[in-house]
Amino acid sequence: MIKFPIKLAVASKEGLAISEHFGHAKQFRIYESTPDYCRLLETREVAHYCLGQHSDQSAMAGILESIKDCHAVFVAKIGDGPTEKLKAVGVRAVSRYGYEAIEASLLDYMQSLTTNGEDV
């Protein structure tokens, strides 16, 4: 059973849509969410993880540390490797709302979470 509110991290270039690839994010917006509302709590700066054909593992460690208190991270795109690393620290990677409005997407996710349970 999930206790609300929960924290959700969002990768966004401009703060309006879920518009950033996980590996390109330089910050994550942290929202407090329930099925009825979401509100921005803070913005957390992180090091750039994706460096073209390779990745910066120390940056990944910093990202994981930065968002490990979140239930999920919302991104436009994410690879299988980062998805597994997030899963290992208990954070879900959610890319199905890529390029959609942040608040509407978070509220839809929260409604799905309460309707379908943990495995959303």
d(CA 43, CA 79): 23
How many of the other CB atoms lie within 10 Å of CB of 48? Answer: 13
pLDDT, tens digit (0-9, with 9 covering 90-100), for 1-53: 788 999 999 999 999 999 999 999 999 999 999 999 999 999 999 987 765 55
Q: Is 57 helix (H, G, I), strand (E, B) or coil?
A: helix
Local structure of 21: helix, strand or coil: strand
d(C-alpha 61, C-alpha 44), whole Å = 14
Residue 67 vs residues 45, 109, 113: alpha-carbon distances, Å: 10, 18, 19
**pLDDT for 49:** 74
Q: Is the pLDDT of residue 120 over 70?
A: no
**Rounded Cα distance, 46 and 29, in Å:** 11
Please write the tens of the pLDDT for every residue from 48-91. 776 555 565 778 899 999 999 999 999 999 999 999 999 999 99
